[in-house]
Amino acid sequence: MAKVTAKDLVEHFDFEVLAGHEGVYRAITTSDISRPGIEMAGYFTYYPAKRLQLLGRTELSFYQQLNDEEKQERMEKLCTYDTPGIIISRDLTAPDELINNANKVGVPLMRADVTTTRLSSQITTFLETKLAKSTAMHGVLMDIYGIGVLLTGASGVGKSETALDLVRRGHRLVADDSVEIRQEQGNTLVGRAPDLIQHLLEIRGLGIIDVMTLFGAGAVRPFKRIALTINLELWDDKKAYDRLGIEEVTVKIIDSEIPRLTIPVRPGRNLAVIVEVAAMNFRLKRMGINTAQEFSDRLTGVIEEGDKEDF
């Protein structure tokens, strides 16, 4: 899992660090954020110390009503060695007790000039992206008619050549050879290219080409949600391939199940057209139009009618 620290938050959001500077490298392990309102009232039994703590106007205005002894006690319990950071919103003034205890324990105390609700949303989105489960796969990721299609298969089967043909047909390249995949917002898989090979395509016999330079900025995109995987494999005469398209096969990537098609490769087959049509057909299925199932139902109806006539 990727590592995120308070220093990453400071650099990304331009937070002001008020105290606990030595603790800015504490690891943040969850995207959940706590607003310790009930803790300000003195209830720390279920205090989620390993979460980022966000203090807004409500929490700090209640805190100001406490006596000096209660203020010191609350801030001692709020600042623990497990707490990755405390953030004050709306550019509010940090209590002296909070600053002292943050320095004592080494909890980074940060401040932003954004409203509490908006700040919570921004930080959560940032952390969910950074802490998302990730993996890398060998393949080519394309955007075909708005569908993120991941082409997989053995090395040399023709993935990059198919991608080049698809780019010439007006579709967009996301990544070639290596695809970095993150699982974001539940089971959504988002793929992108490593920075080193972004916009590049390797064609055997030709070498490395820059797709954006050759075909323009409209031929590439930085990332895309993966909706369909297509596995290219050399044609095997002994293998029975699906001829109707009724079978629903999926492949597991991280924790998500993605529909998978297998397309056999042999001379004379126009793979770019086949992949393009596969993406269009997948789009139709998502709209509720399943041609293969409709044909199967019609065929079943014809057979049943024939059986009735025999009787």
Rounded to whole angstroms, the Cα distance separating 123 from 266 reads 50
296 marked among binding-site residues: no
Give the Cβ contact number of residue 140 at 10 Å: 28
118 labelled catalytic: no
Is 172 known to be catalytic?
A: no
Which amino acid belongs to residue 2?
A
pLDDT computed for residue 22 by the predictor: 92
Assess contact for 138 and 273: CB atoms under 8 A.
no
What's residue 304's pLDDT? Answer: 67
Q: Could you count the other beta carbons within 10 Å of the beta carbon of residue 132? A: 19
Task: Show the tokens assigned to 152.
Answer: 């997989």
**Which stretches of the chain drop beneath a pLDDT of 50?**
none
Q: Is there a binding annotation on residue 159?
A: yes
41 assigned to a ligand binding site:
no
Residue among 77, 177, 225, 260 flagged as catalytic: 177
Is 85 annotated as contributing to ligand binding? Answer: no
Q: Does 205 show up as a binding residue in the annotation?
A: no
Among the options 238, 239, 243, 266, which is catalytic? 243
**Cα-Cα-Cα-Cα dihedral of 119, 120, 123, 126, to 10°?**
-110
Identified catalytic residue from 138, 168, 269, 286:
138
Position 310 scores a pLDDT of 57
State yes or no: is 243 an active-site residue.
yes
Tell whether 191 is in a known binding site.
no
- CB-based contact 231:152 (threshold 8 Å): yes
Residue 309 has a pLDDT of 61
> What's residue 1's pLDDT?
52
Q: Which residue has the tokens 């030595």?
A: 22
Q: What residues pair up with 256 in beta bridges, in sequence order?
A: 253
Residue 32 among the catalytic residues? no
**Model confidence, pTM:** 0.72
Q: What is the pLDDT of residue 306?
A: 65
Find out whether 110 and 17 touch, Cβ atoms under 8 Å: yes
Q: Evaluate whether 27 touches 84 at the Cβ level (below 8 Å).
A: yes
Ligand-binding site membership of 156 (annotated): yes
Annotation-wise, does 306 bind a ligand? Answer: no
Residue with tokens 């010439």: 168
Amino acid at 304: E
Instruction: State the pLDDT at residue 2.
Output: 63
Instruction: Tell me the residue ranges of DSSP E strands in the chain.
Output: 4-5, 16-19, 27-28, 33-34, 52-55, 86-88, 109-111, 133-138, 140-144, 147-153, 172-175, 178-184, 188-192, 200-203, 207-210, 223-225, 228-234, 250-253, 256-265
State yes or no: 133 annotated in a binding site.
no
Q: Looking at domain 4-130, does it have CATH number 3.30.360.10?
A: no
246 within 8 A of 293, measured Cβ to Cβ? yes
**What's at 91, amino acid-wise?**
D
Domain boundaries, the chain: 4-130, 133-295
User: What pLDDT shows up at residue 240?
Assistant: 75
| CATH for the stretch 133-295 | 3.40.50.300
pLDDT of res. 141: 96
